[in-house]
Amino acid sequence: MDQTKSRDLLDRARQTIPGGVNSPVRAFTSVESAPPFIVRGDGAYLEDADGHRYIDYVGSWGPLILGHAHPRVLAAITEAAGRGTSFGAPTEGEVALAEKVCEVFPSVEMVRLVNSGTEATMSAVRVARGVTGRDKFVKFVGCYHGHGDGFLIEAGSGLATHGVPSSPGVPASTAADTLTAPYNDLQATRALFDQNPEGIAAVIVEPVAGNMGCVPPREGYLEGLRALCTERGAVLIFDEVMSGFRCGPQSAQGRFGVTPDLTTFGKVIGGGLPVGAYGGKAEFMSQVSPAGPIYQAGTLSGNPIAVAAGLAVLEELYSDPSNFDRLETGMDELATGLEAAAAAAGVAYHVQRVGSMGCGYFSEEWVYDFDDARRCDADAFHTFHTAMLERGVYLAPSPFEAFFLSLAHGPEEISHTLTAAKEAFAAVAAKTATR
């Protein structure tokens, strides 16, 4: 596959941007091709600088649940931009988006808009610390909550892809307040509480882990975390930056029937534009400045263009109750077809999915935590990824990332993907045989 222009752009970018990219996993260093430099997106498709067209299963890492350049979203952005791009002052759009989030999520009584998922998770932990008067928090090995210092301990996603278990620049004192346990291991979490009585402010968890692929919670796991936090006076935070709106109409918390104290949201509520939010119980959120003493601020928080795009996405998504069924049915069809193609080629592979997010693992064993994910065949993934890219299917360049379906993906796109997968799995089988 000719990547002349993309490779030239990467070389050029490396002169002024660390590694040539503005987020590490985009570098494609763990797979066999250069990162395609994207010039446009339309519906379920991307086009790169070399003129290649791909069916996109990354969707800007999840938020493009309607697909690229949806007409309703573009119209909202255009109208908002015509009134001004930024004010640093309150707007009606902020109020409307906040009302929509609170309407959709019974657990969210008040919400604060921020600029990214990272800001949302950092702020939610700060609120938890502020209302409990405690410093430590629990996160789970392989769960990624953005690049805040306290979260870069045993994180998944890009850190795992690039072989970095933590990050230089994180002070030891900060790391000491981050307690880690394996995902899906309730007993290990209880042991941390026993070892730190009265010291844990919060438990933050991806209710469906999306940074070690797609790992659903074991039966009773989320319920157990809820009970443990209630028992020990800690705040339960659901990080739904990735699972938000992907797992159903009320996201993972609605699907599994577990109510967190605080929830964080990411790019979906901005239609793919830079935005995030955190919200939850009014008794906690009313402690956030200026209503209370817990400080958090942002000049661009509630940017008028971002909130207009986000409101357009949510209004379109909820305009038809069957949209979530369509997404889930499409994911089931895709997953079943991929597994059948792998089996026909004699390749150990299965798909784990919840709603419209999923991940294919090169393993016969079910993945319950990050150690399970790391035992999967990374070499097979690399071969598969390259073969799919060459056949016009764009997947995340890491075995620890999820793939996403949008409402723009129809039978034609799924059929093309499965045809490409048959050839890609054959390539994996051939390469594996020569090891």
Residue corresponding to tokens 């230089």 = 168
**C-alpha pair distances (Å), 227 with each of 45, 196, 221:** 44, 17, 10
What is the SS3 assignment for 427? Answer: helix
User: How many alpha carbons lie under 13 Å from residue 117 in its C-beta half-sphere?
Assistant: 23
269-285 burial, b if ≥16 CB within 10 A, otherwise e?
A: bbbbbbbbbbbbbeebb
What is the SS3 assignment for 205? Answer: strand
What is the Cα–Cα distance from 71 to 269, expressed in whole angstroms?
A: 17
Calculate ∠ Cα 157-262-138, nearest 5°: 50
Q: Is 200 exposed, middle or buried (0-12, 13-18, 19+ CB in 10 A)?
A: buried
End-to-end CA distance of the chain: 24
Tokens describing residue 368: 């319950």
Give the active site residues.
144, 239, 267
**C-alpha pair distances (Å), 342 with each of 336, 349, 366:** 10, 6, 16
Residue partners of 12: CB distance under 8 A and separation at least 6? none
| HEC assignment per residue over 277-322 | EEEECHHHHCCECCCCCECCCCCCCCCHHHHHHHHHHHHHHCCCCH
Tokens describing residue 74: 């573009």
Residue corresponding to tokens 């996405």 = 313
Dmax (CA) for the chain in angstroms is 65
Tokens describing residue 373: 């994910």
Residue of 77, 206, 62 whose CA lies nearest to 142? 206
